[in-house]
Structure 1
Amino acid sequence: MVFNIKYRKLTLNTISLLFIVLFVYAAVSKLLDFETFTLQIAQSPFLGPYTGIIAWSVPSLEIIISLLLITSSFRNFGFYASFTLIVMFTAYIVIILNFSDFIPCSCGGIIEKLNWTQHLIFNIVFIVLAGTAILLSGNWTNKMKLLLLAILTIIGVGLLTMVFAFSEKKIFRNESFQRKYIPNALEYIGNYELGSKNFYIAGFKKNIIYLGNYQNPLYLKTLTTSLGTSEDFPVTISNMKLPYRRARIIVEPPYFYVGDGTVPVIFRGTIKDWNATIYSYGAAYFKQFEILDSTRIGISAVSNATSSTTLGVITKQSLKDSIFYNDGILTKQLDGIFDTDGLLLWNAKHKLFLYTYYYRNTYVVTDENLEYKFSGKTIDTISKAVLDIARYGTKDRFKRGGNSIIVNRHTATYGNQLYINSDRLGRYEDKTALDSAAIIDVYDIMGNRYEFSFYIGHQPDKKLDGFRIDNDHLVALVDGRIWIYKLKPKYFNSGSNTTHTGQYQE
């Protein structure tokens, strides 16, 4: 009997010490790097609106619970509080891993070194430890203790589930619009596993898909729509010594371009030998670039005059390249950077620029000289950007949080039509449809109107990373796999020229 009492006391003291070390270390780590912790909460897909409260309450609770565990008369309460808090942390991880489209960073301290699955296992171990301590302590019967643990579990899980459900409805559902779906707009051709999630679509023309690689900027892969031929090869540029940070390839046969707006430089070469020399150097810093023709390149950039996103055209000249901006095309709502962020497209058939905002239901159309023509509205009703922006670091640096509402994610244009991918749900739409498909809304840019919507099917539990359309084929990139479809002609105009595409980048 004495041995059992000593063993129980030793077990309780050990578990208590483990929780004290865990909570004190976690709280101190959060408070020492409070800006980073606050940013991580702000990036959460459903905790963002409560950033201020959570950022202070979590480390405060961890310290309070540690004090309860140190005090013998309140230690039992400390065990129950520890159990509840760890259950809530675990419920948050389960929701993030299984139901969220955006996975933020982990919490502070040593736990930040764990991935989310390891973090989940870590939490389960501490739930078991807390439950064991509760069963070994106190004067209640084990039946009463188990009942209370079940109630606390339901409360913890239920609270997090309610917060997530409310946030999910806010971000993804909008009952004020209704799509017109074409059920069989596409004919499935096939799919191809690329072997890496680092690919992006660099070009698509005459049944050849050109794929760049984020991790290997001078590596290119080609694939035919018949899936009969694939090829991997390097491309070369004439200067390897510049401080490249974000090199991207655009293939527009017979040329290909390698551009890095942080340098800024653009190389051009032919697809015959895949060797490129400097085409434009130092003309303008840019975020995106699009090829108009052999002498002009469209860009989106940050204006020196307005400090907001703007559109420009670089014209190749024999002595020095010229750059023209039109700062009056994009309209500022909040900060001028995040709220005007979007995707630049070039429609070769009609010689038009199309710029689709990420965070509002608007796209802008200009001619090839950046003369404003009109603005179009998408079927979503968010006309003013809903942004969750967090400041971090000692300098004025900002990052988008997970609670921002992205209206338009990926775009493409071909012929008379603009194609916009959005995961915002309209009236009567089932969210489970997005588990293995992406929604594409189609707009007639000549008539400035919404036409219809359709689904692109893909592998389950993955998200669309980009898509292209050329002639009567659509190719979609989803988590390192290419999906190929044929457009049924009675729903789509074929156009006559190639298309470029834009895609949202986290």
Structure 2
Amino acid sequence: MPVIMIGFIKRYFVKAVSFLLALLFIYAAASKLFDFEAFQVQLAQSPLLSAYAGIISYGILIIEFAVAFMLLIPNSNRLGLYASIGLMSAFTLYIYLILNYSDFVPCSCGGILEKLGWTEHLIFNIWFLVLAIIGLYTLVKKTGKSGLKGLGYAGLIIVASCLVVIGLFRSSEHIIKSENSFIRRFLQHPILIEKTRDLKVNSYYLAGIHNGVLYLGNISAPLIITTIDTSLNRSTRKRTSIDKKDYNFRNIKLQIQGPYYYLYDGTVPIIYRGHLNDSIARTLSYQDAFFNQLVVIDSTRFAIRTQRGSDHRYTLATLDVKGDSKVKLKPDILQGQIDGVFDVDGSLISNSNATKLVYTYVYRNQFIVMDSTMKIENRLHTIDTTTRAKITISKLSDGTKKMGAPPFSVNKRSVIAGDLLFNESNLMGKYEPSESWKTSAIIDVYRLDRQKYMGSFYIDHKKGEALSSWLVNGNYLYAIVGNELRRYKIRGEAFK
């Protein structure tokens, strides 16, 4: 009986191994093919191969079906076993790299294999790799040739497959983080919602944070300052007043830079300042400059965006109410492409202590990093591919200009935290499910000191209402979505 059993195994072992491998590859390829869109999305989120999701998604399907076909044809059986060894080696190394050199683990398998944990999946692959090697050794021996020679070729194939995977990994990381062709990598739970508070109305916005207290402005009641502690438990409301108010204000805004609060409306060239413990804001600057954006640098210095009198183009400037020359234009910062007004539209922001300024263009994939004097440190780009503003300008009979068609908007709003820029994007990247854009805001994270994309995450809408205001402070992200104030905890290693 043992002799008969051994003879049976020798006779049918290679066929059985080939059949098992072929079944595995057909099943895996068919699972991907039946839900190909999901497979591409999952592969695009791979921390190792994101940049090549398109090529690899098609390539894997073709290779798996081709290898299965070779395994089932007697004349190509040996070639199929060599190809199986190469393919299983690549899959095995990929999983090993995922488990040991990645912050998160995606899923790019379907069916039964999706139920396996990644460690179990690694063991599963190793077992089939060993089976393929034994099958090849047996087949070579049956042909009367040296089995060791076959193992030598198999070893070369394993090394080559592993080198290909490592090369793709290193190249993909560089492309995704430095030369991205608009493929987002969504990080696994970088922020976790901890608490919410109902604000009752949706007209609030975050004006700043100081000494563990959030300050909220209200579009409908611009002279009321609402404070909420960062645990979102206690709140207060304070009605402020301004020392001079006989002006035709359009939209008074509130900004906090402790220990002061500032009220302003750039259509009227006036800035008010009040102490956080005081309810009266007094005129700090009057008729120094008209502006449409303002960032507080310190108690008497500001960064503004204004329009030049000579050509009405937008330009950045500094305003020092104590300086001899109060306004200093910085005409070389914003670079026009079409008209110098609409095409350079964007948002000017600062970090918490105003040591760093960032201007993010709305209609193109660029942001400008500056110090507090508006000296340019970096011109960096976001991961989308819109390098030139896609807008049309119409000139009216009275000489004024307006947008000739709905603009192609790229970036919405940004905040700074440390050396990171958190940017809300307005464009969908490759291999992204459209459903996510209907229910969430997409936040992309970048380094400010060099060209590097760190990853992306979602902030969910609330009953159809989207993110309207947000800031990052320390390990927390605070966001207003509709009438809800949320506190998110940032996972410690999420953006490192």
TM superposition score normalised by structure 2: 0.61
- 1:272 matched to 2:277? The reply is yes
Aligned to 1:178: 183
User: Match for 1:331 among 318, 335, 340?
Assistant: 335
Deviations 1:167-215 (A, max 9, x none): xxxxxxxx95101111200121122222222222211234422111122
How has the CA–CA distance of structure 1 residues 277 and 386 changed in structure 2, closer, same or farther, with 3 Å as cutoff? same
C-alpha displacement of 1:321: 6.4
Query: Which of the pair has the greater relative contact order for Cα pairs under 8 Å at 6+ separation?
Result: 1
C-alpha displacement of 1:460: 3.6
Paired with 1:388 and 1:430, the residues of 2 have a C-alpha distance of 29
Aligned to 2:322: 317
| Equivalent residues in 2 for 1:375-414, closer than 5 Å | 375-389=379-393, 395-400=398-403, 403-414=406-417
Aligned to 2:305: 300
**Counterpart of 1:361 in 2: which secondary structure?**
coil
Letter in 2 for 1:250: Q
**Is contact 1:206–1:470 with CA below 8 Å preserved after alignment?**
no
Paired with 1:465 and 1:441, the residues of 2 have a C-alpha distance of 16
**Is contact 1:349–1:415 with CA below 8 Å preserved after alignment?**
no
How has the CA–CA distance of structure 1 residues 481 and 339 changed in structure 2, closer, same or farther, with 3 Å as cutoff? same
Which region of structure 1 is more displaced relative to structure 2, 191-200 or 445-454? 191-200
Paired with 1:483 and 1:490, the residues of 2 have a C-alpha distance of 21
**Is contact 2:297–2:354 with CA below 8 Å preserved after alignment?**
no
- 1:442 matched to 2:435? The reply is no
Aligned to 2:464: 461
TM superposition score normalised by structure 1: 0.59
Aligned pairs, number: 317
How has the CA–CA distance of structure 1 residues 413 and 401 changed in structure 2, closer, same or farther, with 3 Å as cutoff? farther
**Is contact 1:212–1:219 with CA below 8 Å preserved after alignment?**
yes
**Is contact 2:356–2:372 with CA below 8 Å preserved after alignment?**
yes
**Is contact 2:192–2:489 with CA below 8 Å preserved after alignment?**
yes
C-alpha displacement of 1:434: 2.5
Paired with 1:309 and 1:223, the residues of 2 have a C-alpha distance of 36
- 1:255 matched to 2:260? The reply is yes
Aligned to 2:358: 354
How has the CA–CA distance of structure 1 residues 389 and 475 changed in structure 2, closer, same or farther, with 3 Å as cutoff? farther
C-alpha displacement of 1:341: 0.7
Paired with 1:291 and 1:259, the residues of 2 have a C-alpha distance of 11
Q: Mark the structure with the bigger radius of gyration.
A: 2
**Counterpart of 1:202 in 2: which secondary structure?**
strand
Paired with 1:401 and 1:481, the residues of 2 have a C-alpha distance of 36
C-alpha displacement of 1:357: 0.3
| Equivalent residues in 2 for 1:59-458, closer than 5 Å | 176-317=181-322, 322-347=326-351, 351-389=355-393, 395-400=398-403, 403-458=406-461
Deviations 1:38-94 (A, max 9, x none): xxxxxxxxxxxxxxxxxxxxxxxxxxxxxxxxxxxxxxxxxxxxxxxxxxxxxxxxx
Aligned to 1:490: 493
**Counterpart of 1:339 in 2: which secondary structure?**
helix
C-alpha displacement of 1:403: 2.6
Where structure 2 has 5 or more consecutive residues not aligned to the other structure, the ranges are 1-179
C-alpha displacement of 1:269: 0.8
Paired with 2:367 and 2:387, the residues of 1 have a C-alpha distance of 11
C-alpha displacement of 1:447: 2.4
C-alpha displacement of 1:395: 3.5
Letter in 2 for 1:286: F
Paired with 1:204 and 1:487, the residues of 2 have a C-alpha distance of 17
Paired with 1:491 and 1:402, the residues of 2 have a C-alpha distance of 39
Deviations 1:204-227 (A, max 9, x none): 234422111122221222222322
**Is contact 1:205–1:470 with CA below 8 Å preserved after alignment?**
no
Paired with 1:188 and 1:206, the residues of 2 have a C-alpha distance of 22
**Is contact 1:204–1:469 with CA below 8 Å preserved after alignment?**
no
Paired with 1:350 and 1:491, the residues of 2 have a C-alpha distance of 24
Paired with 1:278 and 1:350, the residues of 2 have a C-alpha distance of 22
Paired with 1:467 and 1:364, the residues of 2 have a C-alpha distance of 20
Deviations 1:229-287 (A, max 9, x none): 11222111111112222211101121000011111100111101232111111111101
**Is contact 2:454–2:495 with CA below 8 Å preserved after alignment?**
no
Deviations 1:130-171 (A, max 9, x none): xxxxxxxxxxxxxxxxxxxxxxxxxxxxxxxxxxxxxxxxxx
Paired with 2:352 and 2:487, the residues of 1 have a C-alpha distance of 22
**Counterpart of 2:207 in 1: which secondary structure?**
strand
C-alpha displacement of 1:311: 0.7
Aligned to 2:474: 471
**Is contact 1:464–1:477 with CA below 8 Å preserved after alignment?**
yes
Paired with 1:480 and 1:402, the residues of 2 have a C-alpha distance of 32
**Is contact 2:421–2:447 with CA below 8 Å preserved after alignment?**
yes
C-alpha displacement of 1:458: 3.3
Letter in 2 for 1:193: D
**Is contact 1:286–1:299 with CA below 8 Å preserved after alignment?**
yes
